[in-house]
Amino acid sequence: MFFISINKKVVGLVVFAIVLCLIAICAYSLSVISDTKNKYESVISITRMFDDTHFIAYVADESVQNKKKIEVFDIAKGEVILTKSVNQDIQNEVFNYVKTVKEIYAKVMPFPEKGYVIRVPFDPPRTTDVKLLNDTGIKDFDAVFIILSDKEAPILLILDNNLRPVFYLFNAGVDPLLEYLDLKVEYATMMSTQEL
């Protein structure tokens, strides 16, 4: 007969290490699932707001969002028509638009049938302390989308931390940005809240 002596302390440590490893694996799996769910909900949210799949693909495409150039997306054509390098002055100009956000855009369909969407990236990402943005889950962002149409005042689109779109009205003119882009666009001027 052969007896093996097992130390209870060693067995306890081995079991504890195995449990810790399983907890770590579960936590990692949950974070991956959560991230995937957030991306899915983001695309679903955009889909519910828009009928135009070209724009949905443009906003949801992470490779587009990681580019470091300003892009002008023509809604009617469904494609990017202009790309230009971004500089600090333009980033500051567009960040000032964010600072003048006055309210969430309340109409059901924020996306016009024709017009332009200008994507301005921020490198490094900007942090904001604008209460309205913070209240809607936006503490920092790496890009801002400006929607221009001839029917309404410009609208800001910012993706929250879960990549869901939030639309805002703001109190600033976009002429300096259009001049920098050398883009001749007719867009509606600011309207009062009652007109919207």
pLDDT one-digit tens code per residue, 169-181: 999 889 999 999 9
Residue 82 lies in a domain: yes
Residue percentage of the chain with pLDDT more than 90: 29
Per DSSP, 150 falls in state S
Number of domains in the chain: 1
pTM of structure? 0.65
Residue 64 lies in a domain: yes
- Evaluate if residue 48 carries a pLDDT over 70: no
Q: Environment class of residue 190 by beta-carbon count within 10 Å: exposed (0-12), middle (13-18) or buried (19+)?
A: middle
Q: Which residue range(s) make up the domain with 154?
A: 46-181
Integer Cα distance of 174 and 116 in angstroms: 13
